Amino acid sequence: MNNLIDGKAIANELAVSLRQSVAELKRSGVQPKLAVILVGDNSASAIYVRNKGRRAEELGISFRLIHLPATVNEAELLRNIEQLNQDSGVDGILVQLPLPAAINEETVINAIAPEKDVDGFSPVNFGHLWQNNPAIIPSTAGGIMTLLKAKNIDLTGQNVVIINRSNIVGRPLAALMLQQDATVTIAHSKTKNLPELTRTADILVSATGRAAFVTKDMVHPGAIVIDVGMNRDEAGKLVGDVDFAAVSKKAGLITPVPGGVGPMTVITLMQQVVEIAKKRKD
């Protein structure tokens, strides 16, 4: 299909030059390093973290996984973060979300030193982004922007509808797209007449966590459809939010799941680890 946006292939292309940047840093005595804290045994989280570890290794980025039990208390988790904050050999710190219910995610995110907050979730990085001066940005949103750029899509004046209002996906993506002069609407579970709204979208982004949520009646012919969903169907197969079989016949461009936004999230994370590591030379 020629309307497919192959995120995996784009990520692999970006990996080539990123690997060179890492090699260059190493020659100047800097070993880029990402530390990931994984709490508990959520199987989806384990897969995502494994994919990050694989990509890091392939690029020559050191990857340290700190796996804590689901029963860990907040103070113990905060101690681990503080240690990584103090460790000059660590460039990026990522605490895999979601965290167990007993732990306050906001407290944990706020404990990460903003200059090492490779997810861009801390208030400082979030603030920079909304001040129109992005520093470290959330990697799913950044990865989507890179995908659109790779496809030479100009966002100026485009109507974008994002079905997701989270701090991880919807809000940062809205900020980045607004910065490129798109007209952005954030939709959510309380939005009225959602299909009517989504049909106005030149670019429709969905991250609802519900398989087949986006049906073909919701999509304007020729629209660009970005599927951020990560769901399992009855057979346990990974599927996105979009009814791909039907919508792909109508969309101008569409991302698949797997092989769309997911690999772009991972490569963007690695790019940001390298950007942070470059600052060690300054």
Ligand X SMILES: Nc1nc(=O)c2c([nH]1)NC[C@@H]1CN(c3ccc(C(=O)N[C@@H](CCC(=O)O)C(=O)O)cc3)C=[N+]21
Catalogue the active-site residues.
Answer: 52, 96, 119
From ligand X, Mg ion, none, which one binds at residue 94 (CB under 5 to 8 Å depending on kind)? ligand X
Number of residues that bind ligand X (CB under 6 A): 18
Among residues 23, 47, 70, 102, which is the contact residue for ligand X, using CB under 6 A?
47
Q: How far apart are the C-alpha atoms of 249 and 222, rounded to whole Å?
A: 9
The contacts of residue 33 (CB under 8 Å, 6+ apart) are 61, 62, 63, 64, 89, 90, 91, 92, 273, 277
From ligand X, Mg ion, none, which one binds at residue 95 (CB under 5 to 8 Å depending on kind)? ligand X
Q: Do 250 and 204 form a contact (C-beta atoms < 8 A)?
A: no
Q: How far apart are the C-alpha atoms of 41 and 47, rounded to whole Å?
A: 10
From ligand X, Mg ion, none, which one binds at residue 90 (CB under 5 to 8 Å depending on kind)? none
166 is in an annotated binding site: yes
The DSSP call for residue 111 is: H
| Site membership for ligand X, residue 4 (CB under 6 A) | no
Taking the complex as a whole, how short is the minimal distance between the CB of residue 265 and Mg ion, in angstroms? 4
Q: Do 125 and 142 form a contact (C-beta atoms < 8 A)?
A: no
Taking the complex as a whole, how short is the minimal distance between the CB of residue 59 and Mg ion, in angstroms? 19
Q: Which among 6, 49, 82, 20 is positioned nearest to 271, based on CA atoms?
A: 20
Footprint (CB under 6 A) of ligand X, residues 221-250: 230, 238
Among residues 77, 182, 257, 273, which is the contact residue for ligand X, using CB under 6 A?
257
Footprint (CB under 6 A) of ligand X, residues 84-103: 94-97
The helix or strand, by DSSP H or E, that contains position 205, with its residue range, turns out to be: strand 203-206
Q: How far apart are the C-alpha atoms of 49 and 43, rounded to whole Å?
A: 10
Q: How far apart are the C-alpha atoms of 69 and 62, rounded to whole Å?
A: 23
- Residue 140 or 146 with smaller CB distance to Mg ion: 140
Among residues 80, 139, 208, 255, which is the contact residue for ligand X, using CB under 6 A?
139
Burial group, residue 282, by CB count within 10 angstroms (0-12, 13-18, 19+): exposed
From ligand X, Mg ion, none, which one binds at residue 23 (CB under 5 to 8 Å depending on kind)? none
164 is in an annotated binding site: yes
Taking the complex as a whole, how short is the minimal distance between the CB of residue 194 and Mg ion, in angstroms? 21
Among residues 21, 140, 255, 271, which is the contact residue for Mg ion, using CB under 5 A?
140
Q: By the criterion CB under 5 A, which residues form the site for Mg ion?
A: 140, 265
